[in-house]
Amino acid sequence: MTLNGKTALVTGGSRGIGRAISVALAHAGASVAVNYHKQKDAADAVVKEITDAGGHAIAIGADVSDAASVTTMFESVTRQLGDVAVLVNNAGIAHQRTIDTVQLADFDEAIRVNLRSAYLVTTAAIPAMRRAKWGRIIFLSSVAANIGGAIGPHYAASKAGMLGLMHGYATLLVKEGITSNAISPGLIESDMTRVLVNVTPERVPVGRYGTPEEVASIAVMLATNGFMNGQNIHPNGGMYFAT
Ligand code: NDP
């Protein structure tokens, strides 16, 4: 099955994992809305890469942690590309803190940008998916949700919350043709991991970071496989064994 005729929205599609997912979904046939927050040039470059390859994409700026911005983003995407059928909740931040330096402000920020955003965007996407009786919702959680990780407890909590959201939607929407699943990557090469302190590829059992493309192929599988629901997939090079 391809995604021909489907519209996908990738939050934080301008860089890293979101960029690779945007390109891969377009390659699978979807028209892709590439969301960015501040780096318009990066989003425009993703759109150019997709359109140069014969695909269809637009860049759409919005702070997905802000309700009004999310509403405006959906109006614009729907007007330009049609109803969103595939939603990838990928946008996120990772401000590394130690147990001595983490502050309440870090916790609030992580919950707002990583978790509240996913709730806001998914809430905006659900009505059209229900009308179409078809939808795919994909959450980018993290290995940190299960084993703590290298960023800090604020980040791990925000990513664990995404799994709860995913399970809630997977239970409530599957009978309407809408699946919800999560991907929980380990350390992946991106701007996010480049700035981490005391983190090296030796930390990963396979001896290297993963690539954004290795995560993107899972997103395409989840978007095209209607029998997957409520699952959390772990591309992590062996850092954590799911049972
Ligand atoms: P990057 O830092 O490379 O990219 C982050 C993306 O999120 C950018 O496109 C950025 O937009 C966007 N973004 C950040 N804040 C907002 C906001 N408020 N509104 C809209 N967009 C926003 O991250 P990665 O590609 O590494 O990570 C992608 C996701 O995967 C994140 O959720 C991350 O937590 C998760 N993850 C990453 C891992 C890794 O090792 N890299 C491991 C496990 C999970 P802009 O370009 O405009 O700044």
Q: Which CATH number is 220's domain given? A: 3.40.50.720
| Structural domain harbouring 178 | 7-233
Whether residue 142 is contained in a domain is answered as yes
Residue 3 DSSP SS3:
coil
Residue 232 DSSP SS3:
strand
pLDDT value at position 243? 81
User: Tens digits of per-residue pLDDT, 41-100?
Assistant: 999 999 999 999 999 999 999 999 999 999 999 999 999 999 999 999 999 999 999 999
Pocket test for ligand 1, best of 22, 114, 120, 192 (most atoms within 8 A of CB): 192
**Closest ligand 1 atom, residue 91 Cα:** 7
Q: What pTM was estimated for this model as a whole?
A: 0.99
pLDDT value at position 1? 57
User: Tens digits of per-residue pLDDT, 97-123?
Assistant: 999 999 999 999 999 999 999 999 999
Whether residue 189 is contained in a domain is answered as yes
How many angstroms is it from 187 CA to the middle of ligand 1?
13
**Closest ligand 1 atom, residue 210 Cα:** 40
Query: Which residue out of 119, 155, 169, 209 is catalytically annotated?
Result: 155
Phi, psi of 178 (to 5 degrees): -115, 120
pLDDT value at position 242? 86
Whether residue 31 is contained in a domain is answered as yes
How many CA within 13 A on the CB side of residue 83?
14
Whether residue 240 is contained in a domain is answered as no
Instruction: Return d(Cα 58, Cα 195) in angstroms, integer.
Output: 29
Nearest to 163 by CA among 185, 188, 186, 140: 140
Question: Into how many domains does the chain fold?
Answer: 1
Instruction: Return d(Cα 221, Cα 214) in angstroms, integer.
Output: 11
| Residues in CB range of 137: below 8 A, 6 or more apart | 87, 89, 122, 125, 129, 166, 169, 173, 178, 179, 180, 181
Phi, psi of 79 (to 5 degrees): -65, -40
Pocket test for ligand 1, best of 17, 41, 74, 142 (most atoms within 8 A of CB): 17
155 is catalytic: yes
Does 138 contact ligand 1 (Cβ within 6 A)? no
Q: Model confidence at 149, in pLDDT bands (50, 70, 90)?
A: very high
Does 91 contact ligand 1 (Cβ within 6 A)? yes
How many CA within 13 A on the CB side of residue 49?
20
Whether residue 221 is contained in a domain is answered as yes
Whether residue 242 is contained in a domain is answered as no
How many angstroms is it from 190 CA to the middle of ligand 1?
9
